[in-house]
């Protein structure tokens, strides 16, 4: 989400300056998955280029469902690597990460990355970009 803030250049003028401010922390980038066993994945990412990050929440699901409320999640401290254990064997998972600010609010989601299921003893992972919607809210 983006907040739109408009400042008047001069008092009672019709000239305005439009400034777009991001709502929340930027999303982590470069999310990577590595299959460590048939029931576990290592997840790593690059942090957003800001200070004030208290931790992260990793969201994961067997399907890249657009309804994030249906995804499972685990919260970790200010680290950029974690292991998801206890997963279903021979199953693909979609993973997204978001940062948590020191104010307790969560930032934007990373793009989804999807793991391939473990087949024939080979460890394979692929990245898939999932499109999402953007909404602009006018605050008056």
- Cα–Cα dist 50/44, whole Å: 18
Is the separation of the CB atoms in 48 and 26 below 8 Å? yes
Per residue in 90-114, pLDDT tens? 889 999 999 999 999 999 999 999 9
Q: What is the pLDDT of residue 116?
A: 79
| Domain ranges within the chain, ordered by starting residue | 24-133
Single pTM value for the model: 0.69
Looking at the predicted structure, is the pLDDT value of residue 33 above 70? yes
Structure tokens at 88: 């279903």
Structure tokens at 109: 């989601």
> Would you place residue 82 in the very low, low, confident or very high pLDDT band (cuts 50, 70, 90)?
very high
Which CATH number fits the domain 24-133, given the four candidates 2.60.40.10, 3.90.1150.10, 1.10.620.20, 3.30.565.10? 2.60.40.10
């Amino acid at each position: 989400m983006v907040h739109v803030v408009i400042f008047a250049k001069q008092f009672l003028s019709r000239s305005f300056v439009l400034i777009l401010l991001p709502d929340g922390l930027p999303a982590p980038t470069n999310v990577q998955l590595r299959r460590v066993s048939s029931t576990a994945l290592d997840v790593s990412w690059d942090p957003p280029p800001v200070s004030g990050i208290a931790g992260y929440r990793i969201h994961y699901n067997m399907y890249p469902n657009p309804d994030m409320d249906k995804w499972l999640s685990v919260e970790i401290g200010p680290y950029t690597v974690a292991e998801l254990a206890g997963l279903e064997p021979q199953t693909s998972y979609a993973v997204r990460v978001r940062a948590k600010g020191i104010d307790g609010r969560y930032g934007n989601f990373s793009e989804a990355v999807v793991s391939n299921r473990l087949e024939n003893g080979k460890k394979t992972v692929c990245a898939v970009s999932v499109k999402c919607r953007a909404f602009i809210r006018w605050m008056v």
